[in-house]
Amino acid sequence: MRNLIDILDLSVSEIEELTQIAEDIIKNPEKYQEKCRYKKLATLFFEPSTRTRLSFEAAMMELGGNVIGFSEANSSSAAKGESVSDTVKTVGCYADIIAMRHPKEGAPLAASFKAEVPIINAGDGGHNHPTQTLADLLTIKMEKGGFDNLTIGLCGDLKFGRTVHSLINAMSRYKNIRFVLISPEELSLPDYIKKGVIEKNNIPYTETRDLEEAVKDLDILYMTRVQRERFFNEADYIRLKDSYILTLEKLANAKKDLCVMHPLPRVNEISPEVDEDSRACYFKQVKYGKYMRMALILKFLEVEI
């Protein structure tokens, strides 16, 4: 039985396999529409979500399966004090696979020790978000043709942005990658990623506060929201929230084939005028996320394709 807690739980060849399945689902959706008949996915969301929960649910429905779950902790017995371990042990009696989001780092890992069905981490605090990374990887493959030889700018809240942490882990396994870390000092990338992943893998990187200067060298610009829910005080959030707002003017010196990504939701980080630019890829990312989650469900349920 497999769990997906960290993107590194999947090998490079498994990621290749998932992207190939997702591409086949895009081309031949009818081939997959009964693959999970009589199977159930449980979505246990102890923290808010639009994309991740609904794309998991849409993914299972498009595979012919069913969905149960809850979208806030207060509507589950967690509100009465039930432990995460007991919740997943219980839900494993009803469902074949569980996607779980939790505000506490490590909660899906703890759940996986007790669960008798596969656990997929759908975001744990400021730590990891591996299925967003699957969406990001398919976007990169579709837009850039592969994962090697890329200069990737990561901009905004690199401290609390779990999607950034998972994406750096994933991209660190490919050839000739360079990272440009664009953030205010207070929201810079934690050392456990900077030293523990980037430096450990001898990947070249630079740190800057200047988005306009950095943008001209980039193949990918990954914008992120300042994560209000992880701040200890509101005043710090208000001071930092609009550190970066991407506009068409700021893209003036960018490459014509730059791929602008954002895991969404956005607040102010990308001006809506950018949505119409051919370099805006963030709504494609949303679509690709559903197909990668379909591929992941098929793999973890060991469905024959």
Minimum distance between the CB of residue 274 and ligand CP, rounded to whole angstroms? 18
Is there a catalytic annotation at residue 52? yes
User: What does the binding site for ligand CP look like in residue numbers (CB under 6 A)?
Assistant: 49-52, 123, 132, 263-265
Q: Which residue is catalytic, options 52, 131, 151, 163?
A: 52
Name the residue nearer to ligand CP (CB basis): 52 or 128: 52
Q: Which residue is catalytic, options 40, 102, 127, 129?
A: 129
Name the residue nearer to ligand CP (CB basis): 262 or 299: 262
Minimum distance between the CB of residue 146 and ligand CP, rounded to whole angstroms? 23
Indicate the DSSP class of residue 129: -
In order, the DSSP letters of 47-105 are S--SHHHHHHHHHHHHTT-EEEEESSGGGSGGGGT--HHHHHHHHTTT-SEEEEEESST
Name the residue nearer to ligand CP (CB basis): 130 or 263: 263
Contact predicate 35/24, CB 8 Å: no
Is there a catalytic annotation at residue 51? yes
Minimum distance between the CB of residue 162 and ligand CP, rounded to whole angstroms? 9
Name the residue nearer to ligand CP (CB basis): 50 or 268: 50
As a whole number of angstroms, the distance between CA 20 and CA 254 comes to 30
CA distances from 121 to 52, 130, 136, 198, 234 (A): 10, 7, 16, 23, 28
Minimum distance between the CB of residue 256 and ligand CP, rounded to whole angstroms? 27
Q: Give the angle subtended at the CA of 230 by the CAs of 234 and 113, to the nearest 5°.
A: 160
Is there a catalytic annotation at residue 129? yes
Catalytic residues: 51-52, 80, 101, 129
